[in-house]
Amino acid sequence: MTESSIIPVFDGHNDVLLRLRRGGLNSVNAFLNGEAAGHIDLPRARRGGLAGGLCAIFIPSPDQPKPENGDFPTPAQADALNETLAMARLLLAIEAQSEGAIKVCRSAADIRQSIADGQFAAVFHIEGAEAVAADLDALYVLHEAGLRTLGPVWSRPNVFAYGVPFRFPSTPDIGPGLTDAGKDLIRACNELRIMIDLSHMNEQGFWDIAKLSDAPLVASHSNAHALSPHSRNLTDKQLDAIRDTGGLVGINFGVLFLRDDGVRNTDTPLDVLVRHVAYIAERIGIEHVALGSDFDGTTIPASLGDASGLPKLIDALRTHGFDDQAIAKIAHQNWVRVLERTWGG
Ligand SMILES: [Zn+2]
């Protein structure tokens, strides 16, 4: 295999729907035909080998004064549900207008087939379940509409749990764990076989889920706390728990979560990212490390640029000493395996 071969990347987290939402349904064409904004559109995904990933529906914090501690305010449930429906419709509109170039995948078989066919394999993901009330009605309906993975919280509190605030340097052990409604949510996700995403959980919430859930533990876009002591990153003990359940960690490309100084500096070499991959692979095994770019949701290294830069990351992994077999696991195989185990097909 030559260095210029395109390795398919299935990625654990992007915010392209959030970026496109600002352009309304007109942005469908911008996505399909390409545009000079953000990190992902279809032409750049194809150039970089981005074969698909978890497409997050994230509701921004309302425009209101921040609480005194500086943490993010939480949107109201009805507002969040309306916005979730609008963003889910946007995803479905992209699929419908793509002439087969994009598929909203509902099973691991769908993802494998889409990758084989060169179709972008999108998975409907919710980051922060504010759209769902404690009665969980919306969860069941959204699942029928294609929802397959869900993070109970973003980095703010809601009725289910207490999201980890952005702090640096800081332990992730900030605030209480799951509420009773949060425990009901985890049981319902297990019943529906919706993947539970631990990125943005605080440490207590993480351990509550580890105790309660019967699925592999997954953090879709988080890094090693030992290398970058951000509250969003995972301690060694958390990494070990993820390994013990057969789960995985998707490495976040955000410089804030990669660097050891917590500075938002785009002049961050790709080797810093590779060191997180290597650290986690060394500690818990190559089967448990994958990618979770956070494309269109955070500040990434300038040298990567956008989705079309993924082959540079693959080259950096190869330079570090990962062979083709290891790279295939990191790039897509681990994600598909863990989703298959979680979803049951
Ligand atoms: Zn996130």
Cα(25) to ligand 1 centroid in Å equals: 23
pLDDT reported for residue 2:
45
Q: How far is the CA of 66 from the centre of ligand 1 (A)?
A: 19
In the reported structure, the alpha carbon of residue 4 is separated from the centroid of ligand 1 by a whole-number distance in angstroms of 31
pLDDT, residue 1, reads 44
Per residue in 278-301, pLDDT (tens digit) is: 999 999 999 999 999 999 999 999
Q: How far is the CA of 294 from the centre of ligand 1 (A)?
A: 7
Reported as half-sphere exposure (CB side, CA atoms, 13 A), residue 295 has a value of 32
Q: How far apart are CA 143 and CA 140, in angstroms?
A: 5
Q: How wide is the angle at C-alpha 299 spanned by C-alphas 12 and 238, nearest 5°?
A: 45
Residue 166's CB is within 10 A of a number of other CB atoms, namely 17
Please state, in angstroms and rounded to a whole number, the distance separating the CA atoms of residues 88 and 316: 35
Find the angle CA(172)-CA(176)-CA(181) to the nearest 5 degrees: 125
Q: Report the alpha-carbon distance of residue 231 to residue 173 in Å, rounded.
A: 8
Give 265 Cα–ligand 1 centroid separation in angstroms. Answer: 18
> How close is the Cα of 269 to the center of ligand 1, in Å?
22
CA of 90 to the centre of ligand 1 (A): 20
Residue 345: band (very low, low, confident or very high) from pLDDT cuts 50, 70, 90? low
- Kind of pairing between the strands at 289-291 and 195-196: unpaired
Residue 170 has pLDDT above 50, yes or no: yes
pLDDT, average across residues 111-129: 98
Q: Report CA(154)–ligand 1 centroid distance (Å).
A: 7
Question: For 198-246, what is each residue's pLDDT tens digit?
Answer: 999 999 999 999 999 999 999 999 999 999 999 999 999 999 999 999 9
- pLDDT band, very low/low/confident/very high, at 61 (cuts 50, 70, 90): very high
Q: How many angstroms separate the Cα of 138 from the Cα of each of 68, 81, 85, 133, 192?
A: 32, 8, 10, 7, 13
d(CA 295, CA 266): 14
Residue 65 confidence (pLDDT) above 90: no
CA of 216 from ligand 1 middle (Å) equals 19
Q: Which two tokens stand for residue 10?
A: 């299935």
**CB-based burial of residue 4 (10 Å sphere; 0-12 exposed, 13-18 middle, 19+ buried)?**
exposed
Residue 32 has pLDDT above 80, yes or no: yes
133 to 156, 181, 182, 334: CA distances (angstroms) = 16, 9, 10, 32
Q: DSSP letter string over 202-250? A: -HHHHHHHHHH--SPPEETT--BTTTS--TTSBPHHHHHHHHHTT-EEE
- Give 39 Cα–ligand 1 centroid separation in angstroms: 15
* pLDDT above 70 (res 119): yes
The full set of domains in the chain, from first to last, is 7-64+74-343 (3.20.20.140)
Give the Å distance between the CA of 222 and the centre of ligand 1: 8
As a whole number, the mean pLDDT across the chain is 96
